[in-house]
Amino acid sequence: MRTDTNPLVLVRNLGILAHVDAGKTTVTERILYATGTIHRRGEVHDGTTVTDFDPQERDRGITIFAAAVSCDWDGHRINLIDTPGHVDFADEVERSLRVLDGAVAVFDAVAGVEPQSESVWRQADRHGVPRIAFVNKLDRAGADLDTAVASIRRRLHPAPLVVQLPIGTEDRFTGVVDLVRMRALVWADGGDGVEHTPVPDELRDEARRRRRLLEETVAELHPAALEEFVDRESLSADTLAGALRDLTRSGDGVVVLCGSAYRNRGIEPLLDAVVAYLPSPLDVPAVRGTYDGTEQERAADPAAPFAALAFKVNATPTGRLTYVRIYSGTIGKGDAVWDAGTRRAERIGRILRVQADRHVRVERAVAGDIVAVVGLKSARAGSTLCAPGHPLVLEPPGVTEPVVSVA
Ligand code: GDP
């Protein structure tokens, strides 16, 4: 358990990665709905999902432009960065990956790993982005979690850590057994609301067998878990959860969950897993940059000199919005910043947190945060913004240190 009280511990900068059609937009929209960010469920096919707010996107039915949306879950702030799934937008995927601390990779339970899921997975590997896998569309005819997991193991090569057992198949998929806590989660008809119940009798043996498998895999990969496993021949829920968190953050394993975004099934446990296993900005390595040949490092410290990466610029009725990921320092309205690429001074206008289709003004934003800034004139996607007198160009993507848990 962490003892520090830095509020950054409660932030998750999250991306959703997927092959086109696996359900990224639907998962994103259901997350916004589950977190109370939006109050009505939209459907992708009628163009009402909130992340698809560009008309061109609606027309083409693919998510083209990344947008960052903030939502709250279990006392945590999740900044959701929409990452294009289409192969034509590789640069944009690349920029989104730079600003993420963790991601959910969505797979289709019938198709399993598809070519684009594989390429975006490799990109995320290069950026050292820890991931959780969500096997979606479990309601579809022919959907099978085990086959999808086998394709993850075969094509992506991480150790899959399957933490759920589906209850029912295809259109009778009604819940999951949580193998960590050994309890069932059953969704209400229509998909809104989840009930915790004991594991159904007919699934008890299978659930025990699968938990054993999960424990053995975890013990093989995690020294502390191995110690407890050898001593007691089983793992407590807390040890298992702690080991799953460490393995996720080190990239040695990938936690696998399942659901049906379309039917709004599996979203709450997915959000719980995001909060439990994926890292906060404090858990990721300091970013590196250079200026005039001098190398520097910036840790997620609000008191350090300001450094941020602009990763998206949108023209909106509110003005020119520059989405930035702040790596160190603090900014407030009116502050002068320096664009280290163009060597030009800029001034911060309003700072906005984007909540679905609403913009909420904030006075200040700190290291670890993702916000939109109004008033920047020349910053482009990829620009480094820094404190005047502390120039720095953040390193281009490619080489990242493995993520190490500091919890
Ligand atoms: P994206 O291209 O990855 O953003 O995928 P979308 O979210 O646009 O979904 C692609 C299609 O799959 C849409 O027609 C969705 O309604 C459908 N879809 C998404 N999730 C599910 C699901 O859980 N079950 C089923 N049966 N269809 C789904």
Percent of the chain with pLDDT over 70: 86
Measured in degrees and rounded to the nearest 5, phi and psi for residue 126 equal -60, -30
Compute, in angstroms, the gap from residue 136 CA to the centroid of ligand 1.
Answer: 8
Helix residue ranges per DSSP H, 157-203: none
The minimum-distance atom of ligand 1 relative to the CA of 261 is: 23
Residue 194 confidence (pLDDT): 86
Residue 405 confidence (pLDDT): 35
Ligand 1 neighbour 18 (Cβ under 6 A): yes
The minimum-distance atom of ligand 1 relative to the CA of 62 is: 2
Residue 144 confidence (pLDDT): 95
Q: Using CA atoms, how far apart are residues 28 and 42, in angstroms rounded to an integer?
A: 11
Ligand 1 neighbour 160 (Cβ under 6 A): no
CB-facing half-sphere around the CA of 100: CA atoms within 13 A: 34
List own/partner pairs for 151-157 with CB under 8 A and 24 or more apart: 151/107, 151/112, 151/113, 152/107, 152/112, 152/113, 152/254, 152/256, 154/113, 155/112, 155/113, 155/118, 156/113, 156/118, 156/121, 156/254
List own/partner pairs for 315-319 with CB under 8 A and 24 or more apart: 318/352, 318/359, 318/374, 319/349, 319/374, 319/375
Pick the residue whose CA is nearest to atom 24 on ligand 1. Answer: 137
**pLDDT tens-digit map of 85-102:** 555 666 777 888 889 999
CB-facing half-sphere around the CA of 259: CA atoms within 13 A: 31
Q: Tokens in use for 250?
A: 């080190």
Q: Using CA atoms, how far apart are residues 320 and 307, in angstroms rounded to an integer?
A: 20
203: DSSP letter? G
DSSP string of 57-88, one letter each residue:
HHHHTS--S--EEEEEETTEEEEEEE---SGG
- Sign of the alpha-carbon torsion through 289, 291, 294, 296: negative
Ligand 1 neighbour 139 (Cβ under 6 A): yes
Q: Three-class SS of residue 116? A: helix
Ligand 1 neighbour 187 (Cβ under 6 A): no
**3-state DSSP helix/strand/coil percent for the chain, to nearest 5?**
30, 30, 40
86 is in an annotated binding site: yes
R_g over Cα of the chain: 21
Ligand 1 site-directed mutation target among 44, 65, 260, 265, most atoms within 8 Å of CB: 44
The minimum-distance atom of ligand 1 relative to the CA of 265 is: 23
Q: How high is the mean pLDDT in each 10-residue block of the chain (407 residues)?
A: 70 92 90 80 54 43 52 94 68 83 96 89 91 97 96 92 96 95 89 86 97 95 89 90 96 96 94 98 91 89 94 82 94 94 90 78 94 90 92 67 35
Q: Using CA atoms, how far apart are residues 150 and 113, in angstroms rounded to an integer?
A: 9
Ligand 1 neighbour 170 (Cβ under 6 A): no
Pairing of strands 319-328, 370-374: antiparallel
Helix residue ranges per DSSP H, 157-266: 204-221, 223-232, 237-250
Compute, in angstroms, the gap from residue 364 CA to the centroid of ligand 1.
Answer: 37
Pick the residue whose CA is nearest to atom 14 on ligand 1. Answer: 45
Ligand 1 neighbour 95 (Cβ under 6 A): no
335 is in an annotated binding site: no
**pLDDT tens-digit map of 149-177:** 999 999 998 899 999 999 999 999 999 99
83 is in an annotated binding site: yes
Ligand 1 neighbour 85 (Cβ under 6 A): yes
Ligand 1 neighbour 63 (Cβ under 6 A): yes
84 is in an annotated binding site: yes
Residue 2 confidence (pLDDT): 47
Ligand 1 site-directed mutation target among 31, 33, 49, 262, most atoms within 8 Å of CB: 262
Taking the chain, what is the end-to-end CA distance rounded to the nearest angstrom?
Answer: 7
Helix residue ranges per DSSP H, 76-201: 90-99, 115-126, 145-156
Measured in degrees and rounded to the nearest 5, phi and psi for residue 143 equal -70, 135
20 is in an annotated binding site: yes
Ligand 1 neighbour 25 (Cβ under 6 A): yes
25 is in an annotated binding site: yes
Ligand 1 neighbour 217 (Cβ under 6 A): no
Q: Three-class SS of residue 392? A: coil
Pick the residue whose CA is nearest to atom 17 on ligand 1. Answer: 23
